[in-house]
Structure 1
Amino acid sequence: MDRQRTLETERLVLRPLAEADREALYEIASDPAVWEQHPIHDRWRREVFDAFFDEGLASGGALAVLDKRDDRVIGSTRFDKYDADEGGVVEIGWTFLAPRWWGKGINPEMKRAMLAHAFEHVALVEFRVGDTNYRSRNALEAIGAVRTERYELEKYQGKRVVHLVYEIDRDGFAAGPLS
């Protein structure tokens, strides 16, 4: 599966993340509101954002999200862990958008394109989201993702972080709200 294929929708272009996107994305990420419900709540800090951005570049699956009208960067997302075994699974996540784009249908439009691409290659897509990140949890449920019983524990700044695992399978996508 090509995790950095350029995808286009009616309003968006999702293209491979590039070093040249760093400043435009930091301008968005520097707003603490973007991260207020996120377990890594301080990505607005330059050094934390730069580590996050570098990780995205190194992942081989990060995408910049652009407004098709003016080619302005409005956010980022990522195809991450990919396993071709047993029908295949890929993780989608690390999505953030400029607040002015919240509530305008950008996330479902972007996820529809990403899921359609993923399901050409895999049978299952997973998402991991912080347990207190209700904005993202609601967004996942709105696109038809189902919370599993699985979760992951990590630590950040000495505090326990719980990530819930959501998923959509090929049939659920075909019958779901994004079909």
Structure 2
Amino acid sequence: MEISNFNFQPDCLENEISKLIPLEEKHFDALFEAASDPLIWEQNPAKDRYTKEGFKTFFDIIITKNPFLILDKQTNEIMGTSSFYDYNPERSSVGIGYTFITRKYWGGPYNKSNKKLMMDYAFQHVNSVLFHVGAENFRSQKAVLKLGAEKINELTFIVNGAEVPYFEYELKKKE
């Protein structure tokens, strides 16, 4: 598999529920408005992302990660964002993360729909998708387990200058 075949940010991934388009700088204000709910971030290691300053730090990171703006296919309302990152051709893997969706879209078919679009696309190019979830982010841990991913590792990442424990989950391509 050559990296040239894997476009990390196709123009559009969509199904009947969700539409993912490339995130651009011009989307900052609308995405911040969607992200400005403290409850979205309460289990995230960077709990300040609901503030303009905290979200700007997050946005500056994700804009370098081939991010998608996730839209509700029916209403075009912003649902959140997600990215492909850490492509590893030797391991035939890619990460899916830097994800959030607004509370309006919690608990329904939305997260699974968004992730399925990304996983189906990724599995055309790699054999394994990885998810990195904060050790205290129980909601996201449950969500990746629901997708069928398995916990394979415990890692430490630096978040806002502090070491934070994370879990690594893997979902393998079905043969």
Settle same-fold status: TM greater than 0.5.
Answer: yes
After TM superposition, the runs of 4+ consecutive aligned structure 1 residues lying more than 2 A away are 154-160
**What residue number does 2:132 align with?**
128
CA deviations 1:32-84 (Å, max 9, x no partner) are 0000001111111211211211211122x210001112222111011111122
Q: Secondary structure at the match of 2:27?
A: helix
In the TM superposition, what is the alpha-carbon distance from 1:168 to its structure 2 partner? Answer: 0.5
Q: Which of 94, 98, 105 in structure 2 is aligned with 1:101? A: 105
**What residue number does 2:146 align with?**
142
CA–CA distance in 2 between the matches of 1:78 and 1:156?
18
**What residue number does 1:177 align with?**
none
CA–CA distance in 1 between the matches of 2:26 and 2:161?
33
**What residue number does 2:3 align with?**
none
CA–CA distance in 2 between the matches of 1:19 and 1:57?
8
**What residue number does 2:118 align with?**
114
In the TM superposition, what is the alpha-carbon distance from 1:105 to its structure 2 partner? Answer: 1.1
Counterpart of 2:149, as a letter, is A
Q: Which of 9, 20, 30 in structure 1 is aligned with 2:15? A: 9
Structure 1 gap segments, 5+ residues each: 175-179
Q: Secondary structure at the match of 2:64?
A: helix
Count, aligned residues: 169
Structure 2 gap segments, 5+ residues each: 1-5
CA deviations 1:99-137 (Å, max 9, x no partner) are 011011100011111111000000111000001100000
CA deviations 1:14-49 (Å, max 9, x no partner) are 011011211111112111000000111111121121
Kept in 2: contact 1:21–1:73 (CA 8 A): no
**What residue number does 1:41 align with?**
47
Q: Which of 65, 80, 88 in structure 1 is aligned with 2:85? A: 80
The CA RMSD measured in Å over matched residues stands at: 1.4
Q: Secondary structure at the match of 1:132?
A: coil
Q: Which of 83, 88, 95 in structure 2 is aligned with 1:91? A: 95
Q: Which of 162, 167, 171 in structure 1 is aligned with 2:170? A: 167
TM-score, structure 1 length as denominator?
0.89
In the TM superposition, what is the alpha-carbon distance from 1:159 to its structure 2 partner? Answer: 4.6
**What residue number does 1:54 align with?**
60
**What residue number does 2:156 align with?**
153
In the TM superposition, what is the alpha-carbon distance from 1:9 to its structure 2 partner? Answer: 1.1
TM-score, structure 2 length as denominator?
0.91
Q: Secondary structure at the match of 1:58?
A: coil
